Amino acid sequence: MRRAANKAEFRLIRGACDMLRALWGSEGDSEVGLPASMDAGSPSRGSEPMRPSVNALWGGFAAFVLCAVVFACPLVLGGCSDSGAVEQTPRPDLVEIDIRELFDEPERARVQFPHDLHTNAVSEENEDCSLCHRVREDSLLSPKYMRLEDPGGEELMELYHENCIACHTERADAGVKTGPVTCGECHRLDPLYLSSRQPVGFDHSLHYRHGVAQNDKCEKCHHLYDEETDKLYYEKGTESSCRDCHREETEENRVSFKLAAHWDCLGCHVERAVEMPGAAGGPQDCAGCHDLERQLAIKVIEDPPRLMRGQPDFVLISAPESELESSKLATVPFSHVGHEKFNNTCRVCHHETMKPCVECHTLAGSEESEGVMLQHAMHALTSNHSCVGCHELEKSDPECAGCHDLMEQGRLSEHSCEICHAGPAPWNLEAERSLYTSLDDFRPDPSEMGLTFPVSEIPDTVMIGVLSREYEPAFMPHGKIVDKLSEHIANSKIATYFHGHEDVVCQGCHHHGAIGERPALCENCHGRPFDERNPHKPGLFAAYHRQCLGCHESMGIGEPSDCARCHAEKQVVETVTPRPDQ
Amino acid sequence: MSGAAATVRRPLLSLSNIFTGVILLVGLWLTYLRFTGGLGAVTNLDHNNPWGFWIGLDLLCGVALAAGGYTTAAAVEIFGMKKYHAALRPAILTGFLGYSMVVLALLYDVGRPWRLPYPFFVSPGVTSVMFEVGACVLLYLVVLFLEFSPVALEWLGAKRLRRVIVRLTILLTIMGVVLSTLHQSSLGAMFLIAPWKLHPLWYSPYIPIFFFVSSIAAGLSMVIFEGTLAHRNFEDKMDEEHKKTAADVVLGFGKGASMVLAVYFAIKVFGVALDNEWSLLGTGYGLWFLLEMLGFVLLPCFLFAVGVRDRNLSLIRWTAFLTVIGIVFNRFNVVWLCFNWQLPWEQRYTPHWMEIGISVFVITVGVTVYRFIVTRMPVFYEHPDYKEAH
Amino acid sequence: MSTSRRKFLKWMSAAGAAAVVPKKARAHEQFTGYPDSYGVLHDTTLCIGCRRCEEACNEVNDLPAPEKPFDDMSVLEEKRRTDEKTYTIVNRYKPDGEDKEPVFRKFQCNHCKEPACASSCFVGAFTKTPEGAVVYDASVCVGCRYCMVACPFDVPAYEYDKVLTPRIMKCTMCHPRLLEGKLPGCVEACPQEALTFGKREDLIAIARERIRKYPDRYIDHIYGQQEVGGTNWLYITGGPFEVLDFRTDLGITPAPELTSGALSMVPVVVGLWPALLGGMYVINQRKDRMAAKEKREAVNEAIETTQSAADEAMKKAAEKARQDREKAVEMAVKKAAEEAAKKLEGENKGKES
């Protein structure tokens, strides 16, 4: 066997060497330039072998294998990363243990740690969190594993390895189903789990329930920090969102929101669990808060009582006091109590702090507002913190979108300024402020508010026959459409407010033009298509179809290709006459 | 010494002649179908796949494999390798017939073949690579015709005319190499205009160079291959010098082919490296590419070298056949198998049996004319009246 | 043919110099497209898939009637492509799912600014007109179908079933109607003005304005503005282009640029190769001659040497023969002398007695 192997090796190597030599050697052939009569060798060495030489075959095989290996490397390497994709189970409790940045040349992948799996196992053994989490000075549990402070990379790695693997080994010895002990099973290249963690926050309902549970003792959760004494304290009337101070990352003296939430929330839940078994005292596992299904199962209090924090019912929004003298625009009467109902949390508007907007957002912007001016804070179209931004979102509701989708986005309408800016002038505000106590002081008399013109002025049916050629004229149920739109508007408070003038709703279709009882007809402005003088105005044919079909599409009504729904096909088509818009 | 040795009897109704006759008859019938029913009646070409078997085999492979003409002429006349002289006339003949059959096949493939002169005489489209291919092929066909004409003229006994043409030999040879370089590379350059349709492993800005270099290897291998077949079937027509130098030709051309294939392999590797396509080698097409490179380029390169070193003429001959298959493989990959590679399989093209039939017919016509010529004209032997010319 | 080395070097350097001299870019030859060429902007968010454009195209171009009539929407269930009887088709896509609103998109020749078909046609059957349309001239077409290979959008279709007059069939942007001041058939028929007609530069401005006005409705990209060097048929969509069967891997290089490099090598080869090959031929001829000459000289020298050797040998032999003769003569003389002396001695002795 050895001999045979040697022989084979020998042939392979010999074949390969022969190949190289053959390619670059000159084996007795005549070279360029020598006269034919003086050529050195003529192949008169007799018979031609009947089969290729065996060495040649071996050499060829060697070459093939060598090249196959060289070329197969990218094949293998490229294939490796994609192949073996394991079915990933989604879990909400994934913790990524990744300390690779502490190492110069990390050798292994990060570890996916399913926390709930472990808390379940721990509770089965009638142990508690302190099995893995040490208690700190302030008697809170440290969220770190088996330690209070972070040691260096090697030490930390050892800490994990020793403790994790020890526990797994123990339980395995005891015959209990447990986790892995080999390197590759924890440090997996292809992740086993997919994180399905949903972020969780407080809304009014949940906050109310917590308040009830704490007997309205706000100090249980809300605190302020005194730099001088390095202590936390509570001051009534200063309660705000945790995130106002606790940010994404842990800062010097202030933990990240994630840590703060898990400490405080979980800590309290764990405490209460002593008396209230199960999840009655609040969830203690990851999934309880972060799993979508569990979130949807959280009991919701419909219409919780108003959160009283000393906030006003009614405000006249103006420039900050120091700038009142120099501001000119009429103030904005704002029903704070009314708007509280529209948002689940205060943070939608009070996105950094519970202070009034104008404290940071001065007329010219300030450092606290990162340069965002008051004007922008109030009117930014794409921000859901701003007044106008939030109002814009209403426009995409199917009941509103029919008209609003066709209108240019990204621009403030100049007509709606005075609807909001209906308050007293700012320069006399101090004196006049006490005169106004609610929005009703500014709301127009409902009897004076007309959403549309009187019914007698609105045509019931409109015949559109100006382009009629292949189809019969269309009979548009104009009155019905106006009625429907008015109905939608009346159902929405904000819509009523902004459409309070009788000619506003007409502009949904009778746009870009003179308004009044007798608005312009489509054909007064829309004529030939592709007019270079009016490049953005469609021709009459498209104007009708885009307006009508566009509205139907945005409101989710009707089948656009069903032409006969609006106009019947003509039996005899007059194709000779060109279309009036051509 | 007289030209031919004992002549073999070649009856008219031999088996091969009958076989040929059947193919020719079927071919004529298919021709009738083609020109009464249009392309749609005999092909599976469609709007997504306008080029198919005919362009692949008859055009691309035909031109590549007829490259023996210019490579042999260059070797003998320009590089002065006189010992390959015996291979020159057969190579020129193969080249001439090869290109003639390319034109014949074009008459089938093109929608309006009677308009083939249009690009040159009516409305030249000089921005087109195909214009260049057409012009060069046309001119090269003339060159080949002139290079071959002494053979016919010797047969016809037209001494003076023959002398005039023989004087043009070196000029014709140079023109032949120039024109061949241009159209061999341009057949590849035609695909430059569709980088999105050709698989990245076969597409490269250097496709023209790939096609040109591989055509040299194709030509050299085809001369060996054709020589093998000729020696098997027409040995009686060969004179002593031809038979004596046959082995020289095989060895010399085998060595040349080995070197050219090595160069071709190297530049193909450069091509892959240039476009950083290594990761593609792990895909299905990548394996196909590796098969082409390793099995049909590197392997024959190696086997040629071994054959030359061992003076193993049989190995060289089989390797020449392998190389010819490899060239056909490469051309088919470029124009068919790896073309439109992103289309779903249902929309890919497979040839109609009639397309294959017509291709077989065209090749058979070429072979038949070849047989006619070599059995009558001084291709494998020197005409006794013109001995001093060689 | 005798050529001196000097002459040969002169030819080579001349050919080489000619090959590397760069072509100066003359300003007035930089063509950036016909300034007032027209185009069409297709807004797929407006298309409702009514197929009236298909019907109008069929009518205006006198194309044969299709299998299913134009108001049969069941054809939208399959993805279609242009063929020899259909210059344009509308396809339906459901990018948001089966139960959501479908999106429609019209497909036809994009009338590229630098068309691949025109570049690839070796009889110049395609022309990019100043009006923007790329038109096909069936009177010169040979039917090689290279244009079908070259087109990045797979637009041209071929009449494979015709024997004597097979043509390439593709949208013409209704060029004859454009020359009469009319609109292309499809544009005129669209009830939604999903197809906007105008000068290409104006269309880009219109598209930009639409995207600016309705940022949530459109993807911020005008397809055809730069693709393969720019096309005269532009598109704006509400979703990713690949989903609507737009090829996004085409790059911005115009098709003619892809082959101009290879074509520019033609004069180089035609200039250099003859010089190189001619030079090699001459070198080999000279080598042959030199070799023949050396052989002749070697033969002569061999003859001379042999000759002189032979002469030498003969001379020696002659000399030896002479010496031998001399010696023999000497010997004979000596012998004779001795005999004579002996005889004399004998005579003297006799006389004394």
Does the residue A458 lie in any domain? yes
Confidence of residue A58 (pLDDT cuts 50, 70, 90): low
Residue B387: its pLDDT value, please?
67
Is residue B36 within 8 angstroms of chain C, CB to CB?
yes
Spatial separation of the C-alpha atoms in residues A580 and A468, rounded to whole Å: 9
Does the residue A414 lie in any domain? yes
Q: Are B281 and B290 in contact (CB under 8 A)?
A: yes
For residue C339, is pLDDT > 60? yes
Indicate the pTM of the whole model.
0.80
The predicted complex's ipTM stands at 0.92
Using one digit for the tens of pLDDT, what is the confidence trace for A489-502?
A: 888 888 888 887 77
Same domain, A95 and A71: no
Is residue C266 within 8 angstroms of chain B, CB to CB?
yes
Is residue B119 within 8 angstroms of chain C, CB to CB?
yes
Q: How many domains does chain A have?
A: 5
Confidence of residue A277 (pLDDT cuts 50, 70, 90): confident
Residue A18: its pLDDT value, please?
60
Task: Give B-chain residues touching C84 at CB under 8 angstroms.
Answer: 47
For residue A2, is pLDDT > 60? no
Same domain, A452 and A439: no
Is there a contact between A542 and C190 if contact means CB atoms under 8 Å apart?
yes
Confidence of residue C88 (pLDDT cuts 50, 70, 90): very high
Distance between B165 CA and the closest CA of chain A, angstroms: 24
Residue A470: its pLDDT value, please?
83
Spatial separation of the C-alpha atoms in residues B291 and B207, rounded to whole Å: 19
Is residue C277 within 8 angstroms of chain A, CB to CB?
no
Confidence of residue C300 (pLDDT cuts 50, 70, 90): very high
Residues 149-178 on B with a CB inside 8 Å of C are 170, 173-175, 177-178
In this structure, of A85-99, A216-230, B116-130, B345-359, the range with the lowest mean pLDDT score is: A85-99
Is there a contact between A530 and C198 if contact means CB atoms under 8 Å apart?
yes
Does the residue A42 lie in any domain? no
Is there a contact between B298 and A64 if contact means CB atoms under 8 Å apart?
yes
Mean residue pLDDT across chain C: 90
Task: Kindly state the percentage of chain B with pLDDT values over 90.
Answer: 80
Distance between A62 CA and the closest CA of chain C, angstroms: 38
For residue A34, is pLDDT > 60? no
Q: Which of A83-87, A190-194, C23-27, C297-301 has the highest mean pLDDT?
A: C297-301
Same domain, A182 and A124: yes
Is residue C146 within 8 angstroms of chain B, CB to CB?
yes
Residue B1: its pLDDT value, please?
41
Is there a contact between C193 and A560 if contact means CB atoms under 8 Å apart?
no
Residue of A nearest to B293 (CA): A67
Is residue B224 within 8 angstroms of chain C, CB to CB?
no
Using one digit for the tens of pLDDT, what is the confidence trace for A392-428?
A: 888 888 899 999 988 888 778 777 888 889 888 887 7
Does the residue A291 lie in any domain? yes
Neighbours of chain B (3+ CB pairs under 8 A): A, C
Using one digit for the tens of pLDDT, what is the confidence trace for C317-327?
A: 999 999 998 88
Residue A76: its pLDDT value, please?
46
Pairing between β-strand A193-195 and β-strand A332-335 as defined by DSSP bridges: unpaired
Same domain, A232 and A156: no
Residue A46: its pLDDT value, please?
40
- Disruptive mutation site among C147, C165, C277 for chain B (greatest number of B CBs within 10 Å): C277
Residue C22: its pLDDT value, please?
47
Residue A61: its pLDDT value, please?
65
Q: Which two tokens stand for residue C47?
A: 């298309």
Residue B157: its pLDDT value, please?
87
For residue C11, is pLDDT > 70? no
Q: Are C194 and A530 in contact (CB under 8 A)?
A: no
Beta-carbon contacts of C318 under 8 Å, excluding residues fewer than 6 positions away, are none
Task: Kindly state the percentage of chain C with pLDDT values over 90.
Answer: 76
Q: Which of A35, A37, A560 sits opposite C48 (nearest CB)?
A: A560
Q: Which domain holds residue A170?
A: 89-195
Q: Which of B80, B252, B281 sits opposite A29 (nearest CB)?
A: B252
Same domain, A246 and A339: no
Residue of C nearest to B128 (CA): C120
Is there a contact between A549 and C48 if contact means CB atoms under 8 Å apart?
yes
Rg (CA), chain B: 21
Q: Are A414 and A406 in contact (CB under 8 A)?
A: no
Is there a contact between B314 and A60 if contact means CB atoms under 8 Å apart?
no
Is residue B115 within 8 angstroms of chain C, CB to CB?
yes
Same domain, A419 and A501: no
Does the residue A576 lie in any domain? no
Is residue B121 within 8 angstroms of chain C, CB to CB?
no
> C126 - beta bridge partners?
C136
Same domain, A367 and A389: yes
Is there a contact between B79 and C280 if contact means CB atoms under 8 Å apart?
yes
Does the residue A575 lie in any domain? no
Is there a contact between C291 and A38 if contact means CB atoms under 8 Å apart?
yes
Same domain, A213 and A254: yes
- Disruptive mutation site among A32, A66, A75, A81 for chain B (greatest number of B CBs within 10 Å): A75
Spatial separation of the C-alpha atoms in residues A535 and C202, rounded to whole Å: 8
Residue A579: its pLDDT value, please?
60
Residue B6: its pLDDT value, please?
53
CATH number at A455 reads 3.90.10.10
Is there a contact between A33 and C193 if contact means CB atoms under 8 Å apart?
no
Is there a contact between A48 and B278 if contact means CB atoms under 8 Å apart?
no
Residue A580: its pLDDT value, please?
58
Residues of chain B with pLDDT under 70: 1-9, 387-390
Mean residue pLDDT across chain A: 81
Spatial separation of the C-alpha atoms in residues A582 and A531, rounded to whole Å: 11
Does the residue A135 lie in any domain? yes
Q: What are phi and psi of A112, to 5 degrees?
A: -95, 125
Q: Which of C263, C269, C281 sits opposite B78 (nearest CB)?
A: C281
Which of residues A145, A166, A195 is at a domain's end? A195
Q: Which of A39, A52, A60 sits opposite B312 (nearest CB)?
A: A52
Residue A12: its pLDDT value, please?
58
Q: Are C88 and C171 in contact (CB under 8 A)?
A: yes
Same domain, A427 and A465: no
Task: Kindly state the percentage of chain C with pLDDT values over 70.
Answer: 92
Residue A578: its pLDDT value, please?
59
Average pLDDT over residues C280-297: 91
Q: How far is CA C119 from CA A313, B193, C149, in A?
A: 74, 9, 12
How many CB atoms lie under 10 A from the CB of residue A445? Answer: 6
Spatial separation of the C-alpha atoms in residues A33 and B118, rounded to whole Å: 45
Residue A59: its pLDDT value, please?
61
For residue A382, is pLDDT > 90? no
Residue A490: its pLDDT value, please?
85
Same domain, A462 and A394: no
Confidence of residue C14 (pLDDT cuts 50, 70, 90): low
Is residue C299 within 8 angstroms of chain B, CB to CB?
no
Spatial separation of the C-alpha atoms in residues C208 and C221, rounded to whole Å: 9
- Disruptive mutation site among A12, A14, A19, A34 for chain B (greatest number of B CBs within 10 Å): A19
- Disruptive mutation site among C38, C75, C101, C188 for chain A (greatest number of A CBs within 10 Å): C188
Same domain, A414 and A485: no
Q: Are B189 and C259 in contact (CB under 8 A)?
A: yes
Is residue C115 within 8 angstroms of chain B, CB to CB?
no
Is there a contact between C193 and A538 if contact means CB atoms under 8 Å apart?
yes
Same domain, A24 and A111: no
Q: What are phi and psi of A361, to 5 degrees?
A: -85, 80
Does the residue A309 lie in any domain? no
Q: Which of B252, B302, B313 sits opposite A48 (nearest CB)?
A: B313
Residue A40: its pLDDT value, please?
39
Residue A8: its pLDDT value, please?
55
Is residue C49 within 8 angstroms of chain A, CB to CB?
yes
Which of residues A195, A221, A251 is at a domain's end? A195
Task: Give C-chain residues touching B113 at CB under 8 angstroms.
Answer: 142
Distance between B139 CA and the closest CA of chain C, angstroms: 13
Please, what sign has the CA dihedral across residues C79, C83, C85, C86? positive
How many CB atoms lie under 10 A from the CB of residue A363? Answer: 16
Which of residues A232, A262, A296 is at a domain's end? A296
For residue C74, is pLDDT > 70? yes
Which bin fits A580, alpha (ψ -120 to 50), beta or left (φ > 0)? Answer: alpha
